[in-house]
Chain A
Amino acid sequence: MSQLAFYFALLSLVSVGGIPSVMPEMQRVVVDVQGWMTAVEYTQLFAIAQAAPGPNVLVTALIGWKIAGIAGGMVTFGAFCGPAAVLAYAIGGIWDRMRDAPWRKDFQRALVPISVGFIVSGGYVLATPRGIDWQSALIAGLSAAVLYATRLNPLWVLGGGGVMGYFLF
């Protein structure tokens, strides 16, 4: 349990770009390294977190739950939110005073390509638990295209994915 808490606290501090960025790393550890669940189960937990009302950080609670029950879920969720929240608290105070500092703009520009690469990775690992087959590629590709090109509420995209999943898998 303390190992879980420590690992999720570390993850918290590298989650630049939010939850999507750490999904590959979490999957690597809980599926590849520790073997606590399969890649399919991992994507299913993510699906439940997406379908529930609330922010997608809830997936960290479900991963802990799968590994060590409800208590495990509270530990992973708390460990993931805590360090980042403390950091946000500290930075929130100094950020306003640095409004015109040139390094701030550099910092933000530097993070754009990195976040893009990380977030695409998050989507990729979640969409390919079955490997790369045409069904997964179709669902993921359509979902990405709809989000990119329209202003449709993402909940419809998730619902559409569920319907396609029912008929394709």
Chain B
Amino acid sequence: MVEERRWIAPADFAEVLALCQFLPGPNVGNVSVVLGRRWFGPLGSLVAFAGLMALPVVWVFALALLYADFSSYPGVKAIVMGVGIAGGGLFIGTAFKLAKPLAQKPWGMALAVACFGVISIGRVSLFAVLPVAALLGWFAARRGMV
């Protein structure tokens, strides 16, 4: 959309993407909703979202059904396990990239580590953690601590 069709300026696209990364929900799905709305209103959002997701949904079910047939082979199971763990590693790498600006912000770093601790080790529900973390983050941001 940015490079080939020039429907939207790069800076504008980056702005929309930044917004959608912080909104709840799937990032690319949100981008399709926001841009669809901008150009064609509610129907635009709906069409953009459906267009983005329809084919991938079919693909993923096909792959899952295929896997269900082959999952009794230990080799296949081991490969899929490796892919899943690598995918987890990708999330960790992404988070570390996102954390770069926190290097000079000990309070921000502490908040991130605390979120990790209570969720991963403490197994506390996200529904309990998010309000508390958001409140702490908000106060820290107001005081310029993050």
Residues of A within 8 A of B (CB): 10-25, 28, 32, 40, 43-58, 61-62, 65, 70, 73, 77, 80-81, 83-85, 87-89, 91-93, 95, 106-130, 136, 139-148, 154, 157-166, 168-169
Interface size of B by CB at 8 A reads: 83
Q: Could you tell me if B86 and A148 are in contact, using CB atoms closer than 8 angstroms?
A: no
Among all A-B residue pairs, the 6 with the closest Cβ atoms: A165-B82, A84-B25, A161-B86, A54-B56, A117-B115, A143-B89
Q: Could you tell me if B82 and A166 are in contact, using CB atoms closer than 8 angstroms?
A: yes
Nearest B residue to A58 via CB reads: B60
Residues in chain B near residue A49, CB distance under 8 A: 60
Taking A43-B88, A109-B141 as given, write out 15 further A-B residue pairs in contact, using a Cβ cutoff of 8 Å, ordered by the A residue number: A12-B24, A18-B27, A47-B81, A51-B83, A85-B30, A87-B23, A113-B112, A113-B137, A116-B112, A118-B126, A123-B92, A143-B90, A148-B96, A161-B84, A166-B78
Q: Could you tell me if A120 and B29 are in contact, using CB atoms closer than 8 angstroms?
A: no
Residues in chain A near residue B86, CB distance under 8 A: 139-140, 143, 157-158, 160-162, 164-165
Residues of B within 8 A of A (CB): 16, 18-30, 33-34, 37-38, 42, 45, 49, 52-53, 55-57, 59-61, 63-64, 67, 71, 75, 77-99, 101-102, 105, 108-109, 111-116, 119-120, 123, 125-127, 130, 133-134, 137-138, 140-142, 146
